[in-house]
Amino acid sequence: MFEKLKSEALVLITDKNLAVEERLQQVCDLLKENVTHYDWVGFYFKNGDKNELKLGPYAGAETDHTIIPFGKGICGQVALSNQNFVVPDVSAQDNYIACSITVKAEIVIPLFVNGENIGQIDIDSNTPDPFSEEDERFLEFINNEIAKIL
């Protein structure tokens, strides 16, 4: 499934007829629609020179979490650690910001441009422990390709 999605995502990411923001939105929509355990897919980006993340394009339920301070929640921790963060059970995390009571698991993959962590892709799942190493590698691929257009 991920191999097919990689090629579909590449077509969207490299479509020079669309603004970058629109391409990111289409990637969010593609992933949410095609991966059954991706219930919310979005990008957060460093907010200028502030130590916080700002919500970018996303697909899924609306969220109040449009600004996330570095260090807070899973996304805020990834902003500081520069490491992938896979959470099989969000209820077991002390430093977790609940977006919805239906969310059971989360995966956050940092997005690097020229070695700098400038944002991340964040995926919430209503399925307990759904993420595998295959998800991690796939999302790293997506971020690497997106980094080329930012």
- Domain count along the chain: 1
pLDDT (tens digit per residue) in 30-51? 999 999 999 999 999 999 999 9
Q: How far apart are CA 123 and CA 31, in angstroms?
A: 10
Contact by Cβ (8 Å): 10, 27: no
At a CB cut-off of 8 Å and minimum separation 6, what does 46 contact? 52, 53, 54, 79, 117, 118, 119
Q: What integer pLDDT is reported at residue 94 of this predicted model?
A: 84
- Look up the CATH number of the domain holding residue 24: 3.30.450.40
| Domain residue limits at 132 | 2-147
Single pTM value for the model: 0.97
Q: What integer pLDDT is reported at residue 98 of this predicted model?
A: 73
Q: Flag whether pLDDT at 9 surpasses 80.
A: yes
